[in-house]
Structure 1
Amino acid sequence: MGIRGLMSYVEDHSSQFFIDLKLRDTKIIIDGYALFHRLYFDSNVDLRHGGDYDSFTDITHRFFESLSACKIHPYVVLDGGCDISDKKLLTLKDRAREKIQVAYSLSLGGRGNLLPLLIREVFIQVLNKLHIDFVQCFSEADRDIMTLANHWNCPVLTMDSDFCIFDLKAGFCSLNGFQWKNLAVFKDTFHYYIPARCFSVDKFCSHFNNMNKALLPVFAVLCGNDYINLPVLETIFSRMSFSSGTSSTKGRKHQRILGLLNWLSHFDAPSEALDNVVKYLKMNDREAVRDLLWASLEEYQPSPVKLQDFFQLGAYVSPCATNLGLPEWIQLALAKGQLSPFVCDALSLRRTILYTQVENMQCPSAHVVSLSIRKVIYGLLQNSSPNLNNVSRSTGSKQPVAFSEIERIDKNIATVVTHAAKLPEEYRELGRLNVLSLSKRKNLLLETLKVKEGVLDPIPVSLKLPIAVTCFWLQSIEGQAKLYHVQALLMGMVVGQLQKMISEPDHEESPMDGAKLFCDQFLKVKENKLQRKLDFDTAHVFCQWQCCLQMGFYLNQLLLTPLPEPNITWLYSGTLVHGLSQELSASSSTENLLRVCPGAKQLYSQLFHGLKSAVPSERLFQREKSKARRKKPKKTNTNLTKHRVGTRSLLGHVSNRFGLLSVEDLDDQESKLE
């Protein structure tokens, strides 16, 4: 949720509403959504090239190390899917449109904040690796966080303005004033603490004529949050004369906040305030608006969910999930973050949102390429709940269940109806999916990704799913994809694997000869400034790959990970992959870049030939050899960009110094790496 302008208002008056704290040796409830946003945007990480997940992982490690040094025990609470009542849909659509505009601005070199597609998955993987206690709620987490914090009498760490409204016993600490990078030491001790600022609802209310705290939810609803945005409220405000002569948007919002709080402070209870609100309306509208506003106050009441049960017993009861009749294993997997909010939305609303990346806005959404994977996910979920299934049966329809997808169309959004894939009978009951054999679950995954299991046999365990996804991508992609795009992706994976060996050594693997020199060489590529103007075709190709990886990742999770879950931190670094793409398209060769580390050469060769073996050779090589004989290659290249390219051109068509390669040329080039 969130009240427009409230957080900036209270931060502008921090001396009046906040208390200085020295945090040490305490529990703290962390709003996970707010935290990973703040960590990513405040760490000067690249925003234009699809995500530097390794840099984000590093800063997340440092954040939790600071908490540990101060003996602060964090409990991270993550939002789940959308509210099942769907009353926030208009707000979600507005935010999706805003993200498209931000993505477009970033693509042109402008400003804006946009999270990379897989940041949530990376954040959860880091929490698991560091053994940080966390839970994923079934829907929005605000009320559950408030209830847990009051149960444990500990502060909340967030940036959500709704926590100015909740009556929190220990208050909430603003991420803006949480100085985790600047640890201090108590005098005459060696004990570290984190300087922080804690919002005091008592100080806030006392500032406004000792206003009754019970009136704060009325203020939130009238001021307008993510759930309530009634045009009729503007009529009320105009008659209350809350507007001011300030010209800035911030000034107008702050004046409204100030005026509304001062006005509310004259009432003793919410019912009295609402009676005085609706009197400004026509008689016919009063009762309906009053009922709606009163119902909205429930959003600020304690939650029936007991998250402490999850942290203490390993499970908790979600009334929403229970009412839907979802299988217990699904409920537990959602709580553990082993299934995404995307799955939660598909289960409860039969609707999903496909978020835009920094991609080529003149092309169809990058998510189009992963449509067939999503259809299989929907096919697994369509018989998820007896309550939902009864609705389908009552219609008597034998058609596959329809799911709505909100996605980018040009620079706006549209809702597209997508039908679930029709799957074999054994996959149609979600409640029994967890008892299917590993082989059957793996077969469905690999069939969906259009790859045979033998292709993955020589591939390292940690890269089997990414290579399977890349095989799917090669057979599905559209656009001007070149050989050097594939090479850059694979080399990025190789660099990641070696960096993992160096930074996370274990007893089974020792760093390869030349690995440190190899990684340092590639860090220089990453640190070099990329060309100022974004290569739209390259950006779109890599966005399509991430969309395939995201849905392949979700499908693998839903099938209870028949392939090991890859560590995304070491899988993709946007600035590195884009930089490598530039290098390879200009003059460099994979042989030159890989020669310092024989082990890296061998791994790259395994990955490349795994992909090549998954591409139908009679379709790929025959076509490319015929095109190589043409006398006008430029015309051939232009024609190729206008049609669906697919795998037939990805591995054989390249516009760098190698020219158009036949299969023999490719084999000669890559055999040098073996």
Structure 2
Amino acid sequence: MGVKGLYSLLEENSKIYEDIRFRDSKLLIDGSNLYSYASILQIQAGAEPWRAVPGLPDLCPVFLHDSERMWNQTTLIDMAVPLVKCIGEADCELAALASEWRCPVLSRDSDFYIFDLPAGVLPLDHFRWEAADSYIPCKRYTTSHFCSFFNINDQLLPAFATLAGNHYVNLREIKWVKFLPAGRRRKTYRIASLEGLLNWLRCFQTTKDAIGAAMTLMPNVSRQEQTMVEKATLEYRLPSSSLQGFFTEGAALSLPKEVTWVPDWVCASLAKGDLSGDVLDMLLLGRRNMHKPVEFDQLQSTNLVSQPIRQVLYGLLPALGRSGVLEVDLVGLDLHTVTVKPVVQGATQGLRLDSLPQADRTVRLKVCLETLGVNQETLEGVPPHLRLPVAVTCYWLRRAKPDRKLLKALLMVMIQGELNRQEGLTTALKQIHVSSAAREVLQEFSSFQLELRGNISVKGKGSMTTYWLLGESDSQ
């Protein structure tokens, strides 16, 4: 969110910026700008990361918030750009790392204009990606230039941000526009208010004095509100970076004290973005906001189809106990909260969260099939790379009860895909054989042509009767 109106104030007073040629430096990119960054990066560098382009800077970590689109994350991983998903508020973490690495931050978020960053901030709107050659033309903002331009002590920037209004506090009682210098051309009300505040701050040397004086301008302010304002100024103090070890040594990020029991592999997966931020919400709050696709409001939520799968997931999180997770989902056009109980049964009972990555492959496979409600025999005769899609289709058929035409279309796509995959193999190998169980499903459509292959020896199962899938009759 940042400091309201600050970006517009800087654009109005562009002399605060310094024109530079950016090169040979690390660059930290604010994750809220990831959409613009990822799309432009693809245009500029194709499939190669910028670090491979001579003369251009190394692009270092990109910070993802939980709300970021997954395809952006996948793009960055494919391009070998290091990234981390911050657990909690990312601004301070990003600023702290930029301070320690002495490199700039690329962002539109005006909160970064308050932090005292040695290499400053590169406004995204002035970062000329398309003109990149041996350097990138851009503008740089530093707090020293800002304070010199408006003639205020740089120690007052946290007070300026707090009194101007940010996402920590919002003061509406003080009309800062009345402190605008006489004869000063009045621009937009927001810019005029910020310039009035900056003019008022000139006579102070410390944040404490400025905040104390501001409180006298609000006669009805309570002690609680004053304390809130004082605490808000502390949000711009730079802590030691907890991310330094993540990038240099692969160390796990620290989690809030409420979930210190979470294994290191979960912390690492959260930081890398391999696990959704929903997992952290479940651990911290026992709550999950479900995705809300556009659907017919008179039908049940599509999220109910996958609920049994989520129940198994909840059963792997010991802190939830038997209380379950509060799922927030749409019922018709209204949001409702429902408690979904965890399920721990069958092979899942032998799994523990701390050792989950080391669990035997056969156990994990059994848990997967039990969750999907499919047994091994159903998948016999199905090519190994198609077993998961087939198992998921069986689950979908049972839980969603789709229209037969949809199921038929899905099966045909899978079959055609398999035929295309086998292009170039011998005619015999191009044929698809299915088990007796799969044959029974296909026969319900009365359109698929199957031929008895006979008994064959299946590894681990002995002799089984299988069938060739020849195709589908044209009449259907």
TM-score range for the pair, normalised by the shorter chain length = 0.7 to 0.9
Task: Please list, as runs of the form range in 1=range in 2, the aligned pairs for 1:146-545 lying within 5 A after superposition.
Answer: 146-184=95-133, 192-208=134-150, 210-229=151-170, 233-234=171-172, 236-237=173-174, 251-281=188-218, 285-318=221-254, 320=256, 324-360=260-296, 363-381=299-317, 383-384=318-319, 400-410=322-332, 413-423=335-345, 426=349, 429-453=352-376, 455=379, 458-459=382-383, 461=385, 465=388, 468-477=391-400, 483=405, 487=409, 491=413, 512=423
C-alpha displacement at 1:323, in angstroms? 6.2
Task: Please list, as runs of the form range in 1=range in 2, the aligned pairs for 1:32-51 lying within 5 A after superposition.
Answer: 32-35=31-34, 37-39=35-37
Letter of the structure 1 residue corresponding to residue 6 of structure 2: L
Separation in 2, partners of 1:20, 1:496: 56
Separation in 2, partners of 1:409, 1:214: 51
Asked if the contact 1:158/1:172 (under 8 Å) is kept, the reply is: yes
C-alpha displacement at 1:330, in angstroms? 1.8
How many residue pairs are counted as aligned between the two chains? Answer: 445
C-alpha displacement at 1:240, in angstroms? 7.1
C-alpha displacement at 1:63, in angstroms? 8.1
Asked if the contact 2:27/2:58 (under 8 Å) is kept, the reply is: yes
Greater helix share, structure number: 1
TM-score by length of 2: 0.76
SS of equivalent residue, structure 1 residue 421: coil
Asked if the contact 2:28/2:60 (under 8 Å) is kept, the reply is: yes
* Cα RMSD after superposing both structures: 4.3
C-alpha displacement at 1:663, in angstroms? 1.5
Greater strand share, structure number: 2
Asked if the contact 2:179/2:199 (under 8 Å) is kept, the reply is: no
Report Cα offsets for 1:107-156 as digits up to 9, x if no partner.
Answer: xxxxxxxx7xxx32x33333333332222322232211111111111111
Q: 1:154 to 1:422 in 2, by over 3 A?
A: same
Equivalent residue for 2:184?
none
Separation in 1, partners of 2:353, 2:147: 50
Q: 1:170 to 1:430 in 2, by over 3 A?
A: same
Equivalent residue for 1:72?
57
Letter of the structure 1 residue corresponding to residue 75 of structure 2: V
Asked if the contact 2:20/2:139 (under 8 Å) is kept, the reply is: yes
Separation in 2, partners of 1:126, 1:302: 30
Separation in 2, partners of 1:598, 1:488: 26
Letter of the structure 2 residue corresponding to residue 161 of structure 1: S
Report Cα offsets for 1:299-356 as digits up to 9, x if no partner.
Answer: 3222344322121111144152686232222222223333221112211222223343
TM-score by length of 1: 0.56
Separation in 1, partners of 2:12, 2:201: 19
Letter of the structure 2 residue corresponding to residue 451 of structure 1: V
1:138 and 2:87 matched: yes
Asked if the contact 2:63/2:94 (under 8 Å) is kept, the reply is: no
Asked if the contact 2:22/2:136 (under 8 Å) is kept, the reply is: yes
Equivalent residue for 2:462?
none
C-alpha displacement at 1:15, in angstroms? 2.4
Report Cα offsets for 1:65-115 as digits up to 9, x if no partner.
Answer: 44531442122233466xxxxxxxxxx9xxxxxxxxxxxxxxxxxxxxxx7
Separation in 2, partners of 1:168, 1:258: 23
Letter of the structure 2 residue corresponding to residue 205 of structure 1: C
Asked if the contact 1:278/1:289 (under 8 Å) is kept, the reply is: no
Letter of the structure 2 residue corresponding to residue 180 of structure 1: W
Separation in 2, partners of 1:430, 1:217: 42
SS of equivalent residue, structure 1 residue 672: strand
Letter of the structure 2 residue corresponding to residue 153 of structure 1: R
Letter of the structure 1 residue corresponding to residue 27 of structure 2: I
Q: Which of 1 and 2 has greater Rg? A: 2
Separation in 2, partners of 1:140, 1:351: 19
Task: Please list, as runs of the form range in 1=range in 2, the aligned pairs for 1:9-88 lying within 5 A after superposition.
Answer: 9-10=9-10, 12-13=11-12, 15-35=14-34, 37-39=35-37, 59=43, 62=46, 65-66=49-50, 68-69=52-53, 70-79=55-64
Separation in 2, partners of 1:261, 1:464: 66
Q: 1:357 to 1:332 in 2, by over 3 A?
A: same
Asked if the contact 2:174/2:218 (under 8 Å) is kept, the reply is: no
Greater mean deviation of Cα atoms: 353-362 or 339-348: 353-362
Report Cα offsets for 1:255-294 as digits up to 9, x if no partner.
Answer: 44444344344432221222233334456x5211121222
Q: 1:436 to 1:171 in 2, by over 3 A?
A: same
Q: 1:151 to 1:419 in 2, by over 3 A?
A: same
SS of equivalent residue, structure 1 residue 663: coil
Separation in 2, partners of 1:493, 1:39: 39
Equivalent residue for 1:107?
none
Letter of the structure 2 residue corresponding to residue 13 of structure 1: E
Report Cα offsets for 1:438-475 as digits up to 9, x if no partner.
Answer: 222222223223334553873564x6655544443333
Equivalent residue for 1:541?
none
Separation in 2, partners of 1:271, 1:61: 48
Report Cα offsets for 1:517-560 as digits up to 9, x if no partner.
Answer: xxxxxxxxxxxxxxxxxxxxxxxxxxxxxxxxxxxxxxxxxxxx
C-alpha displacement at 1:33, in angstroms? 4.0
Higher relative contact order, structure no. (Cα contacts within 8 Å, ≥ 6 residues apart): 1
Letter of the structure 2 residue corresponding to residue 458 of structure 1: V
Greater mean deviation of Cα atoms: 57-66 or 427-436: 57-66
Asked if the contact 1:602/1:673 (under 8 Å) is kept, the reply is: no
Asked if the contact 1:449/1:469 (under 8 Å) is kept, the reply is: yes
C-alpha displacement at 1:432, in angstroms? 3.2
Letter of the structure 1 residue corresponding to residue 36 of structure 2: R
Asked if the contact 2:49/2:81 (under 8 Å) is kept, the reply is: no
Q: 1:65 to 1:75 in 2, by over 3 A?
A: closer
Percent of aligned positions with the same letter in both sequences?
A: 29
Where does the alignment leave 5 or more consecutive residues of structure 1 unmatched?
44-56, 82-91, 93-114, 185-191, 244-249, 393-399, 502-510, 514-596, 622-661
SS of equivalent residue, structure 1 residue 290: helix
Equivalent residue for 2:446?
664
Asked if the contact 1:31/1:156 (under 8 Å) is kept, the reply is: yes
SS of equivalent residue, structure 1 residue 75: coil
Letter of the structure 2 residue corresponding to residue 226 of structure 1: H
Letter of the structure 1 residue corresponding to residue 61 of structure 2: V
Asked if the contact 1:67/1:180 (under 8 Å) is kept, the reply is: no
Letter of the structure 2 residue corresponding to residue 163 of structure 1: F
Separation in 2, partners of 1:493, 1:73: 45
Q: 1:61 to 1:447 in 2, by over 3 A?
A: farther
